[in-house]
Amino acid sequence: MLIDWHTNLALPEHYGEEENGELQNRVKNSTSGDPDSHRKHVADIAEKFVVITMYFPLLNTFVPNEFVADYVRPFGGRAKGLACVEPMKPDAPRQLEYAIRELGLHGLKISPVYGAFDPWAREAGEVYRKCVELNVPLLWHQSAGYASKCALEYGNPILLDRIAREFPQLRMIVAHFGQPWIGETAVLLRKNPQIFCDLSARYHRQWQLYNALMLALDYNVTGQLLFGSDFPLRTTSEALAEFRSLNDWKGKAMLPEFPAEIIEEIINNRPLELIWPEG
């Protein structure tokens, strides 16, 4: 079953000028992230998919939770929508509960890098506790960010190990293989089997992806890797093609191939039940 574990939904007016410009620089084609494009390039291709909300006031990025909830609702069990709240705001736990219980969303995305907050902050801990109470997973953009106000000092995925110890029942996903901290991410996965990692936005960084996958193979954590396109950065089909061509890219370089059968396993054998065991 093909599941696209990392897709975004937004209209141009949801982004600030800098973030919108950065997105346009990174998107391969002129594909928009609007609902019609998402249906054509994700929902019509993948059997199931995850749609992510982005609410990062520091970056002037405001995708409403209601916008994503309204989009995913008609797809029923085919789609999981993730809310986004600002963890340092006093009402963040209440906003998350509203998004899950009232809007019907299925989890949370946050980013210490995009929000410029310490993931160990007491206020953030209240949000993690609310995730446990609601029995929903947490997706982290715990990796690089390129907008000028991003706080890279909070991006290292190793910071999540303490959270995994304090909330061992909290299911988590690290987006983008935690790049550029791919070694740290592999160690984090090895130590914490309740943490998964998606490969979104790595397929065009083929040298980095190759090294990340080889580390995952060495640490025996390929079973915790998830396919994701990061639409609209790539469509589902584009991401699949780039992922499957990883070994072709190396050409005649004297490097071992990453097993093609594991690539296919990551693509086709990562059911939603890994993160949502109750369906």
182-201 pLDDT, tens digit each: 999 999 999 999 999 999 99
Mean pLDDT, range 245-250, rounded to an integer: 85
CA proximity to 257, closest of 244, 271, 238: 244
pLDDT over 80 (residue 22): no
- pTM of the model as a whole: 0.94
What pLDDT is stored for residue 125 in this prediction? 98
Least confident of 17-21, 26-30, 193-197, 231-235: 26-30
CA proximity to 266, closest of 2, 40, 73: 2
What pLDDT is stored for residue 197 in this prediction? 98
Quote the CA–CA distance of 197 and 227 in Å, as a whole number: 9
What pLDDT is stored for residue 25 in this prediction? 58
